[in-house]
């Protein structure tokens, strides 16, 4: 496979754009950041004309595949009518109603533009509603890049502090370290430690903020009872439980991870997967808290929030996903299930030590885990170099996946895609 055009574009981009990329998470690609030309359904073509079956899906937003036609048509219709009004329009009501009908915690909902914005809004709301400042959150969780979000994502162990009480560590230079005074960090999946932490900070914690599945670190699932335990501890202490469903929303189930696990948070954030790839996010939650955005007690604003085309995309995506009792999402899960099983089988055939975590529409693959992976620190026990070789061998065979192990599956993937992918996996696995 040749990447000459991509390399030339990268060199050109570097002259006017730092690093040649417009989001720092896009740098970790081989042989250099890649440039793409177009996508359709489950496939994407790069600038050199190489074709890939795409399991990156823009890191989640393309739950319906590339350019889903009903979404594109709805957006086109709206583009001709008007873009935005600094005022209200009916589509945003319909989109909000749809979300509230699907998501268990969503008695009310507000739109924003990105996942980071939505999490920022939820944290502010929780602090305002409880009159407390501390946020309890977990090592290895990614909640966005803002100063109150980008903490303890992948901390070096030399500076991370003891497992039982990790130090708050900003993940970028230039962040306001003052936020660290208000953060309490725990390892994930250890309810006894969370309980003890609540004990130490009785009446001080505004919110527990968590991904309900650790999609951003090794696809780690919650231990049985962990999310239920967080729910109970929050209720007991008067803290709000926030699920960051930016990845899991509408993907893990139509009701998100909260629908999947049957645990209802007070607030939840959504983004990827809710608008067929258009830049839309949402904060949803219980009426008693969300009303504070409405009466002006707590500010949530945004010039671009709920623009006409974005709302058309949201409504069209929601209608596609929920039609026929969620048939499209069931299909994506069936495709993911076949992939997970096929990867396991290929590993078995070749005598490789394969580990798969997550749910079929978003799962994680690793090799040679040295211990059971249940949280950020144990996630370091996987063989990153082996996965890197596997990842590269897949790319060379036309299969595009996220570096590091995460696989996103869309409603557009077909059984033929899966068969072709499994054939490539059989070959790529030999490099492990």
Interface positions, 1-40, toward ligand PLP (CB under 6 A) = none
139 binds ligand PLP (CB under 6 A): no
Supply the minimum distance, in Å, between the C-beta of residue 52 and ligand PLP.
21
54 binds ligand PLP (CB under 6 A): no
| Cβ–Cβ < 8 Å for 298, 130 | no
| 15-to-9, 23, 35, 46 alpha-carbon distances in Å | 10, 16, 15, 21
Distance CA 133, CA 2 (A): 52
405 binds ligand PLP (CB under 6 A): no
Give the β-pairing of 36-40 and 267-270.
unpaired
Supply the minimum distance, in Å, between the C-beta of residue 113 and ligand PLP.
8
Q: 243 pairs with which residues across the strands? A: 210, 268
Q: Applying CB under 6 A, what is the total number of residues that bind ligand PLP?
A: 14
247 binds ligand PLP (CB under 6 A): yes
143 binds ligand PLP (CB under 6 A): yes
Supply the minimum distance, in Å, between the C-beta of residue 99 and ligand PLP.
17
Supply the minimum distance, in Å, between the C-beta of residue 149 and ligand PLP.
7
Supply the minimum distance, in Å, between the C-beta of residue 141 and ligand PLP.
7
Give the β-pairing of 108-112 and 51-54.
unpaired
**How buried is residue 387: exposed, middle or buried, by Cβ count under 10 Å (0-12/13-18/19+)?**
buried
CA 279 to chain centre: 14
Q: Identify which of residues 275 and 312 has a Cβ nearer to ligand PLP in the complex.
A: 275
244 binds ligand PLP (CB under 6 A): yes
Supply the minimum distance, in Å, between the C-beta of residue 127 and ligand PLP.
18
Interface positions, 261-280, toward ligand PLP (CB under 6 A) = 271
Report which of 363, 346, 372, 350 is spatially closest to residue 408, judged by C-alpha positions.
363
User: In this chain, which of 6, 42, 96, 116 binds ligand PLP, going by CB under 6 A?
Assistant: 116
358 binds ligand PLP (CB under 6 A): no
Supply the minimum distance, in Å, between the C-beta of residue 327 and ligand PLP.
26
| Cβ–Cβ < 8 Å for 250, 321 | yes
| 411-to-52, 276, 317, 330, 371 alpha-carbon distances in Å | 16, 11, 11, 8, 34
Q: Is 272 a catalytic residue?
A: yes
**Residue of minimal CB distance from ligand PLP?**
115
Of the candidate spans 240-248, 319-327, 336-344, 374-382, the one that interacts with ligand PLP by CB under 6 A turns out to be 240-248
C-beta neighbour count of 353 within 10 angstroms: 13
Report which of 275, 340, 244 is spatially closest to residue 64, judged by C-alpha positions.
275
Distance CA 287, CA 109 (A): 9
Q: Is 244 a catalytic residue?
A: yes
User: In this chain, which of 39, 65, 140, 144 binds ligand PLP, going by CB under 6 A?
Assistant: 144
Give the count of alpha carbons within 13 A of 123, CB side only: 24
Distance CA 130, CA 17 (A): 42
209 binds ligand PLP (CB under 6 A): no
Of the candidate spans 162-170, 243-251, 254-262, 357-365, the one that interacts with ligand PLP by CB under 6 A turns out to be 243-251
Left, alpha or beta for 89 (phi > 0: left; psi -120 to 50: alpha)?
beta
206 binds ligand PLP (CB under 6 A): no
Q: Is 260 a catalytic residue?
A: no
User: In this chain, which of 6, 42, 50, 114 binds ligand PLP, going by CB under 6 A?
Assistant: 114
Catalytic pick among 48, 54, 237, 244: 244
Six-digit token string for 127: 């602090």
CA 306 to chain centre: 21
Q: Identify which of residues 198 and 407 has a Cβ nearer to ligand PLP in the complex.
A: 407
Supply the minimum distance, in Å, between the C-beta of residue 276 and ligand PLP.
15
Distance CA 332, CA 335 (A): 5
Of the candidate spans 139-147, 157-165, 340-348, 350-358, the one that interacts with ligand PLP by CB under 6 A turns out to be 139-147
Catalytic pick among 36, 48, 266, 272: 272
Q: What are phi and psi of 403, to 5 degrees?
A: -60, 145
142 binds ligand PLP (CB under 6 A): yes
Q: Identify which of residues 92 and 117 has a Cβ nearer to ligand PLP in the complex.
A: 117
User: In this chain, which of 148, 197, 210, 216 binds ligand PLP, going by CB under 6 A?
Assistant: 216
Compute and round to an integer the Cα radius of gyration of the chain: 21
User: In this chain, which of 57, 119, 122, 332 binds ligand PLP, going by CB under 6 A?
Assistant: 119
Distance CA 92, CA 365 (A): 38
Supply the minimum distance, in Å, between the C-beta of residue 60 and ligand PLP.
7
Binding site for ligand PLP (CB under 6 A): 59, 114-116, 119, 142-144, 211, 216, 244, 246-247, 271
Residues annotated as catalytic are 142, 244, 272
């Amino acid at each position: 496979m040749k990447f000459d055009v991509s390399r030339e574009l990268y060199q050109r981009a570097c002259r006017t754009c730092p690093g040649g990329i417009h989001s720092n998470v896009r740098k970790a690609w081989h042989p250099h950041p890649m440039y793409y030309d177009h996508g359709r359904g489950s496939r994407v073509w790069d600038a050199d004309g190489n074709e890939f079956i795409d399991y990156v899906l823009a890191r989640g937003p393309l739950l319906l595949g590339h350019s889903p036609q009903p979404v594109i048509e709805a957006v086109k219709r709206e583009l001709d009518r008007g873009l935005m009004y600094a005022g209200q329009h009916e589509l945003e009501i319909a989109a909000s109603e749809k979300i509230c009908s699907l998501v268990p915690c969503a008695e009310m909902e507000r739109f924003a533009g990105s996942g980071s914005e939505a999490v920022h809004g939820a944290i502010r709301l929780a602090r305002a509603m409880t009159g407390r400042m501390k946020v309890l959150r977990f090592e290895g969780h990614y909640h966005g890049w803002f100063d109150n979000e980008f903490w303890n994502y992948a901390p070096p162990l030399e500076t991370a502090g003891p497992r039982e009480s990790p130090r708050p560590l900003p993940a970028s230079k230039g962040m306001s370290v003052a936020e660290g005074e208000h953060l309490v960090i725990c390892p994930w999946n250890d309810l006894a430690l969370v309980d003890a932490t609540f004990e130490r900070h009785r009446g001080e914690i505004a919110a527990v903020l968590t991904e309900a599945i650790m999609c951003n670190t090794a696809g780690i699932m919650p231990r049985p009872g962990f999310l239920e335990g967080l729910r109970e501890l929050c209720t007991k202490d008067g803290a709000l439980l926030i699920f960051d469903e930016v990845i899991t929303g509408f993907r893990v189930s139509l009701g998100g991870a909260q629908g999947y696990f049957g645990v209802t948070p007070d607030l939840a954030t959504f983004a990827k997967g809710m608008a067929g790839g258009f830049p839309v996010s949402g904060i949803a939650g219980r009426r008693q808290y969300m009303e504070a955005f409405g009466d002006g007690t707590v500010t949530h604003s945004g010039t671009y929030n709920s623009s006409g085309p974005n709302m058309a995309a949201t409504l069209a995506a929601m209608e596609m996903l929920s039609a026929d009792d969620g048939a499209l999402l069931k299909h994506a899960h069936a495709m993911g299930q076949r992939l997970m099983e096929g990867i396991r089988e290929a590993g078995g055939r070749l005598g490789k030590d394969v580990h798969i975590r997550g749910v079929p529409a978003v799962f994680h693959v690793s090799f040679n885990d040295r211990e059971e992976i249940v949280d950020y620190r144990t996630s370091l026990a996987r063989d990153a170099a082996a996965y890197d070789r596997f990842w590269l061998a897949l790319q060379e065979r036309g299969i595009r996946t996220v570096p590091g192990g995460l696989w996103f599956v869309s409603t557009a993937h077909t059984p033929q895609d899966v068969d072709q992918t499994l054939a490539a996996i059989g070959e790529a696995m030999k490099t492990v």
